[in-house]
Amino acid sequence: MENIKSWSAEDEAIIATNTDATECKRCAVELGYWKDEYISYFVKRAERKAPEINRGYYARVKGMEMFIHQFLERCGTKCQIINLGCGFDTLYWRLEDATRAGVNFVELDFPAVTAKKCHIIKRNKRLLQKITSEDGEVMVGAGGGAGGAGGPGAELHADGYHLVGCDLRQAGEVRRALAAARVSPAAPTLALAECVLVYLRGDAARALLAQLAAFFPRLVLLVYEQCNLADKFGEVMLRNLAARGCRVQADAWQCEAPEAQAARLRALGFDAARAWDMDTVWRALPDDDRARVEALEMLDERELLQQLHAHYALTVATKGDLFADMDLNA
Ligand SMILES: C[S@@+](CC[C@H](N)C(=O)[O-])C[C@H]1O[C@@H](n2cnc3c(N)ncnc32)[C@H](O)[C@@H]1O
């Protein structure tokens, strides 16, 4: 057990954000916002959330999906997806149902989170049956692949699916985790960061993204994060995060407007980067999808949703010609 690393109170608070995200997703799924047959395996119950939260999550999940599908359309089979700070995200299983694209799917999070995810997967036939190697074997390991920080059962490896515990703030751990997941620098790669970078602090987040940009010549980075946190509404969001034990530095890029965040990614080594606030993403969703979702629940606090949408952004940064035309309406 000497490999088990101790976590600070702030790390514990960050780890708890995964439970929140999973509960919010489960609530929206139960209300019919989108389909996810797997989310209920990862969180037992979810209290009903306010309509603006449910719509916000819908825009987040659909906005991410829009670009994930654009990526898969452009590279066909032989590609890899790296889910940074994956939490209990069910994307792997949803993609398996939609398309068996030969993707090497890699999930990284703190070992405390990956160990729980491993445990849930191992105990659930439906989750497990979509994760098998050629010989039908699934290997559950002790976290040595990510630098020995994992603890028992923090890793799971199979054909096309790797769940590895590591601290994204440690470049060496990330490198070892990617090697353990058989990630190849040559393959077209999609890196996902859905509500994760804000917890890393600016310098660690920049170092991680620069590391990815340097390693993969054909790369798409898809980021869903806070933006515009420097205004009054943003101040309240920051205070709420701090009250839960997650401090965001005042100079974090999440305080900046989406375009400034995109410029930072270009400076870190991406060929191109574009960012949209979530109000723009919401309006870019197909009219009939929006109309269907708007009919699910009455929304009294329309202004609140607009404010929330103005404080989250979707950013797409690319390296390589294959992805140059990826766009909100492509
Ligand atoms: C808000 S949750 C989002 C989970 C998932 N991406 C989603 O959107 O459903 C943030 C996740 O990032 C992970 N995370 C934050 N900082 C991390 C770090 N330094 N190393 C590994 N994982 C980290 C947390 O443990 C948590 O699972």
pLDDT digits (tens, 9 = 90+) for 133-147: 555 567 666 554 444
Strand, helix or coil for residue 201:
coil
Separation between Cα atoms, residue 271 and residue 284, nearest integer Å = 24
Most informative mutation of 7, 14, 62 for ligand 1 (most atoms within 8 A of CB): 14
**Which amino acid type is present at position 314?**
L
Between 5-9, 105-109, 167-171, the lowest mean confidence (pLDDT) is in 5-9
Residue labelled with tokens 């034990």: 245
User: Is the beta carbon of 200 within 6 A of some atom in ligand 1?
Assistant: yes
122-128 own/partner pairs: CB under 8 Å, 24+ apart: 122/156, 124/41, 126/37, 126/38, 126/41, 127/38, 127/41, 127/93
Instruction: Identify the pLDDT of residue 307.
Output: 96
Is the model's pLDDT at 271 over the cut of 70? yes
Spacing, Cα 75 to ligand 1 middle (Å) = 27
Question: Using one digit for the tens of pLDDT, what is the confidence trace for 212-251?
Answer: 999 999 999 999 999 999 999 999 999 999 999 998 877 7
Most informative mutation of 109, 120, 168, 211 for ligand 1 (most atoms within 8 A of CB): 109
Spacing, Cα 167 to ligand 1 middle (Å) = 10
User: Is the beta carbon of 226 within 6 A of some atom in ligand 1?
Assistant: no
Dihedral of CA atoms 287, 322, 269, 329 in degrees, nearest 10, equals: -10
Question: pLDDT band at residue 6, thresholds of 50, 70 and 90?
Answer: low
Is the model's pLDDT at 183 over the cut of 80? yes
Spacing, Cα 288 to ligand 1 middle (Å) = 32
